[in-house]
Amino acid sequence: MPKETLVMKFGGTSVGSADALTRAVEIIRQAREEWPHVVVVTSAMSGVTNLLLDSAAQAAEGKVDSLPDAEKSLREKHFSAAEALIKDNELCERTKQEIDALILSLIDFCKAIAVLGEASPRALDAVASLGERMSLRLLTAAVESAGIEAKAIESTEFIITNAHFQNAHPDFKLTTEKTRAYLNPLLDEGIVAITTGFIGATPEGVITTLGRGGSDYTAGIIGAVLPADDVWIWTDVDGVMTSDPRVVNGARTLPEMTYSEIAELAYYGAKVIHPKTIRPVIEAGIGLRICNTFNPSHPGTRLIPNSAGNGKAQANGHIVKAVTAIRKQRLVTIEGRGMLGVPGVAARAFSAVASTKTSVPLITQASSEQSICFAIPSESTNAVLDALHKAFAIELMERDIDRVWATDEIAIITAVGVGTRNTPGVAGQIFSKLGSQNINVLAIAHGSSDVSISMVVETKDSDEAVKALHELIVA
């Protein structure tokens, strides 16, 4: 069956300059020649979202002195790209005026925030959305200027979410109806539909965001609900790599990964794709590819479905496909002999952690039930310890719990690969590698997905641990 519909998402660096945008436009042109229906999702230009949110944060503290500099920076970044890319003077001026209106709305938002003395989640979503909305105007005009028929449409028109600002969840039923109603007529006419990543809207039309990095998720949602045949994520690396090339010189691109493997990698620190992107794509059974805007001839990484045969080591004998690290974590431990056999300790502990809105990436518990430990981001340590001390105040007083404490900063090293599922001796090989480098493992967790093993090591050992485990891939 011939493929009909392609969804492509361009990340911040892929639309971050006139040169990057030129490359993106050429990629869109080639895609349009090969695919009857093309939808493009754009991120904000690199650095813009941070600038917007920093401006709002300073305004909440009553500081508006930096607003003129922010205004100038946004104009220079977007206007210089517009002038370089948009040949038609009238289209260029109209695009600049639309972008300028959005920049001025940032100033208005920040002044209102300064008067109120706080930035609500709803206000922050309104501010954060401006980057994608500016980028949408710029990219669409650049595509049109290159002679490709295109239309800009903000995703707030069809990505319908709840009102959980800053991390909104889509209503897939409404989103499916509206996405098809808005995009299919354009696609049927051969028009490239260009839209904003990262943002949606409540049924009442209030702007929401899908969480940082949510442009990938937008592409996954659109691809799933149309449905598309393929979703391509354009970034600034040649797909998913075996490890961070800044740490491991021999890191290389993986031609294929299963959905389970990429989900684990995304969760455990690999920045190449947003973790939420995976789910709608898996459920829709459509293709997903990660590729490099700055090296478009490279095939990148193709994500493939999980299958029964994937549980064995790969043909090249490698049981580990990739190694990643999450740094700036701390390990919290609740310990005491009085915990033995007492039901509900874990439930109360994680309820207390949840009250601080802290995510827990790793949990491990001794079979003796005398201790439970889990990792949290370093910046959340004080809040989490305070919440736990309050939750277990009576047990601490009565010495059923001896102490609640946190280590110094640690790192979580994760070895990912479907070969870890049914291959005997995997853990032995992993810990032998670490032992040969005199690296001490503080805690271990083998995920229920069966495609990863995570280890906690001291921060000073994190790079060496990654390098040591990467040898299992290249050996």
**In the numeric block, which tokens belong to residue 421?**
């599922």
Residues 327 and 219 occupy one common structural domain: no
44 φ/ψ sector (left φ>0, alpha ψ -120 to 50, else beta): beta
**In the numeric block, which tokens belong to residue 167?**
């991390």
**Number of neighbours of residue 375 by Cβ within 10 angstroms:** 26
Could you tell me which residue, 230 or 213, shows the higher pLDDT?
230
H/E run at residue 322? strand 322-335
- Is the residue at 93 inside a domain? yes
What's the one-letter identity of residue 447? G
Min mean pLDDT across 77-81, 135-139, 419-423 is at 419-423
Q: Which of 179, 214, 236 is the last residue of a domain?
A: 236
Per-residue pLDDT at 367? 59
With 50 as the cut, is the pLDDT of residue 308 above it?
Answer: no
- Is the residue at 310 inside a domain? no
In the structure, how many helices (H) and strands (E) does the chain have? 15, 16
Spatial distance between the Cα atoms of 293 and 31, rounded to a whole number of angstroms: 13
- Is the residue at 173 inside a domain? yes
Residues 222 and 357 occupy one common structural domain: no
Q: What is the mean pLDDT of residues 349-366?
A: 90
Spatial distance between the Cα atoms of 55 and 57, rounded to a whole number of angstroms: 6
Residues 197 and 332 occupy one common structural domain: no
- Is the residue at 459 inside a domain? yes
Could you tell me which residue, 359 or 222, shows the higher pLDDT?
222
With 60 as the cut, is the pLDDT of residue 313 above it?
Answer: no
Which ranges in 157-277 belong to alpha helices (H)? 172-188, 214-225, 259-267
Per-residue pLDDT at 311? 45
Q: What is the mean pLDDT of residues 243-250?
A: 88
- Is the residue at 332 inside a domain? yes
Spatial distance between the Cα atoms of 375 and 325, rounded to a whole number of angstroms: 13
User: Both ends of the chain: CA-CA distance in Å?
Assistant: 40
Residues 44 and 151 occupy one common structural domain: yes
Please answer whether residues 261 and 199 qualify as being in contact, where contact means their C-beta atoms are separated by less than 8 angstroms: no
Residues 361 and 226 occupy one common structural domain: no
Residues 340 and 201 occupy one common structural domain: no
With 90 as the cut, is the pLDDT of residue 154 above it?
Answer: yes
Q: What is the mean pLDDT of residues 356-383?
A: 87
**In the numeric block, which tokens belong to residue 372?**
């439970």
Split into its structural domains, the chain has a count of 2
Q: Which of 236, 254, 276 is the last residue of a domain?
A: 236
Residues 45 and 174 occupy one common structural domain: yes
CATH of the domain at 457: 3.30.2130.10
Residues 58 and 156 occupy one common structural domain: yes
Average pLDDT, the chain: 90
Phi, psi values for residue 71, rounded to 5°: -60, -45
With 80 as the cut, is the pLDDT of residue 383 above it?
Answer: yes
Angle (CA) 248-249-255 rounded to 5° is: 85
**With bands split at pLDDT 50, 70 and 90, how would you rate the model's confidence at 312?**
very low
CATH of the domain at 223: 3.40.1160.10
| 227 preceded by a cis bond (ω within 30 of 0) | yes
- Is the residue at 265 inside a domain? no
- Residue 356's domain spans which residues? 322-474
Could you tell me which residue, 278 or 218, shows the higher pLDDT?
218
Q: What is the mean pLDDT of residues 231-238?
A: 92
How far lies 56's CA from each of 52, 79, 117, 163, in Å? 6, 22, 10, 20
- Is the residue at 170 inside a domain? yes
Per-residue pLDDT at 424? 67
With 50 as the cut, is the pLDDT of residue 433 above it?
Answer: yes
Give this prediction's pTM.
0.85
| DSSP, res 314 | P
Residues 229 and 365 occupy one common structural domain: no
**With bands split at pLDDT 50, 70 and 90, how would you rate the model's confidence at 315?**
very low
Q: Which of 178, 209, 236 is the last residue of a domain?
A: 236
Residues 38 and 163 occupy one common structural domain: yes
Please answer whether residues 194 and 151 qualify as being in contact, where contact means their C-beta atoms are separated by less than 8 angstroms: yes
Spatial distance between the Cα atoms of 408 and 386, rounded to a whole number of angstroms: 17
Residues 326 and 424 occupy one common structural domain: yes
Could you tell me which residue, 267 or 346, shows the higher pLDDT?
346
Phi, psi values for residue 323, rounded to 5°: -130, 130
With 50 as the cut, is the pLDDT of residue 310 above it?
Answer: no
**With bands split at pLDDT 50, 70 and 90, how would you rate the model's confidence at 316?**
very low
**With bands split at pLDDT 50, 70 and 90, how would you rate the model's confidence at 420?**
low
- Is the residue at 389 inside a domain? yes
Residues 326 and 184 occupy one common structural domain: no
Percent with pLDDT over 70 in the chain: 92
Percent with pLDDT over 90 in the chain: 69
